């Protein structure tokens, strides 16, 4: 199943219907790169789990990780205990090994999106599949981990981005993520219309973007470092209670501002290889834009995350965050 699914997905050979049975589950391909697995027997603690990867086509470690998860289910070494929707987001970009083809898919997940184009079409497709999946399993708590890797090095190689939403994070998530090797948490301050934001905003899912290291080609990823994360994915797919670790093993940050590129004449005022979460002192100029002027650190040191001067005009070029206190992590 797995080899076929990846081959069909990467080589655009999806048949009209692709479904079947495994040792502990049945599976069905709903669309290219969108595979649902339903357990023969649902575990007591099951959640409706969405695991997505390749929303950016050059981020291959999460694809390899999900491949290992599916291989364990197919081999029968992992019994599926929860309904699972696995999605490979941007298949043309995955084939090309690029972040996206014409526009960043991970800013398009907003209901009512009416932009034309292949990536907006894919966003509408994935939105419909997520909606249908959570509707089919509406009796279960929704969960969505959207797996990414970062363009540059990070002072924290593995970190979670918490989408801005009225849905609070359940305290147990912090302990699961800490045990899964997540080192930092970045709390978003505004709607980002990312895929994880979609599931949290519209479905109240426990949803995060999980950054799992640095962008690398297939075969160039350090999957050993992602062993604990694979353990979390397997536990959730099995409907088991994941391992826990103290949440305060992670550092917490809150986004205060974002820098947007508003003109052709835009630059960041620090080296391209500056790692994510690098702190800059008050008074430091971080960016220059011909239309909006300078971005300068005001009274509190700011940590820069996802700096990228080569984004589309009007797009986010960096997040500026402050260190934050850990949230209430007492698990009732």
Ligand X SMILES: O=C(O)CCC(=O)N[C@@H](CCC(=O)O)C(=O)O
How many residues lie near Zn ion (CB under 5 A)?
A: 3
The dihedrals phi and psi of 270, each to the nearest 5 degrees, come to -150, 165
Is 148 marked as binding a ligand? yes
Give the CA distances from residue 264 to residues 41, 151, 285, 293, 313, in Å, rounded to whole numbers and listed in that order. 56, 21, 19, 13, 7
Touching ligand X, residues 163-182 (CB under 6 A): 163
Q: Rounded distance, CA 57 to CA 100, Å?
A: 6
3-class SS of residue 201: helix
Touching Zn ion, residues 146-205 (CB under 5 A): 148
Among 148, 54, 57, smallest CA distance to 101 is for: 57
Among 45, 278, 308, 329, binds ligand X (CB under 6 A): 308
Min dist. Cβ of residue 80 to Zn ion (A): 27
* Signed CA dihedral, 57, 144, 63, 148: sign only: positive
Set 211, 256, 265, 332: catalytic member: 211
User: Residue 56, interface with Zn ion (CB under 5 A)?
Assistant: yes
Among 60, 167, 206, 209, binds ligand X (CB under 6 A): 209
Is 59 marked as binding a ligand? yes
Touching ligand X, residues 17-76 (CB under 6 A): 56
> CA geometry: angle at 66 spanning 142 and 179, to 5°?
65
Min dist. Cβ of residue 145 to ligand X (A): 12
In the residue annotation, 258 being an active-site residue is answered as no
Is 56 marked as binding a ligand? yes
302: part of which helix (H) or strand (E)?
A: strand 302-305
How many residues lie near ligand X (CB under 6 A)?
A: 13
Interface residue list for ligand X (CB under 6 A): 56, 106, 148, 150-151, 161, 163, 192, 194, 196, 209, 306, 308
């Amino acid at each position: 199943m797995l080899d076929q699914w990846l081959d069909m997905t990467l080589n655009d050979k999806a048949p009209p219907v692709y479904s079947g049975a495994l040792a502990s589950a049945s599976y069905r391909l709903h669309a290219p790169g969108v595979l649902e697995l339903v357990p023969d027997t649902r575990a007591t603690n099951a959640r409706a789990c969405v695991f997505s990867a390749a929303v950016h086509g050059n981020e291959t470690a999460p694809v390899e990780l999900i491949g290992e998860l599916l291989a364990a289910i197919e081999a029968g070494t992992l019994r599926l205990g929860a309904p699972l929707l696995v999605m490979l987001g941007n298949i043309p970009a995955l084939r090309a090994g690029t972040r996206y083809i014409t526009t960043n898919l991970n800013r398009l997940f907003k209901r009512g999106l009416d932009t034309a184009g292949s990536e907006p079409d894919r966003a509408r497709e994935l939105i419909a599949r997520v909606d249908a999946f959570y509707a089919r399993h509406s009796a279960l708590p929704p969960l969505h981990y959207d797996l990414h890797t970062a363009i540059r090095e990070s002072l924290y190689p593995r970190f979670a981005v918490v989408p801005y939403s009225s849905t609070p994070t359940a305290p147990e998530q912090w302990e699961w993520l800490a045990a899964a090797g997540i080192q930092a948490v970045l709390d978003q301050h505004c709607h980002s219309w990312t895929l994880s934001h979609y599931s949290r905003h519209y479905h109240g899912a426990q949803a995060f973007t999980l950054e799992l290291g640095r962008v690398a080609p297939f075969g160039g990823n350090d999957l050993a470092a992602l062993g604990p994360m694979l353990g979390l994915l397997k536990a959730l797919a099995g409907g088991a209670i994941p391992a826990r670790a103290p949440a305060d093993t992670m550092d917490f940050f809150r986004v205060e501002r974002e820098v947007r590129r508003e003109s052709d004449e835009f630059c960041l005022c620090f080296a391209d290889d500056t790692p994510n979460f690098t702190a800059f002192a008050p008074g430091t100029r971080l960016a220059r834009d011909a239309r909006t002027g300078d971005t300068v650190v005001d009274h509190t040191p700011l940590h820069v995350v996802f700096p990228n001067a080569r984004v589309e005009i009007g797009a986010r070029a960096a997040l500026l965050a402050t260190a934050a206190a850990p949230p209430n992590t007492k698990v009732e």
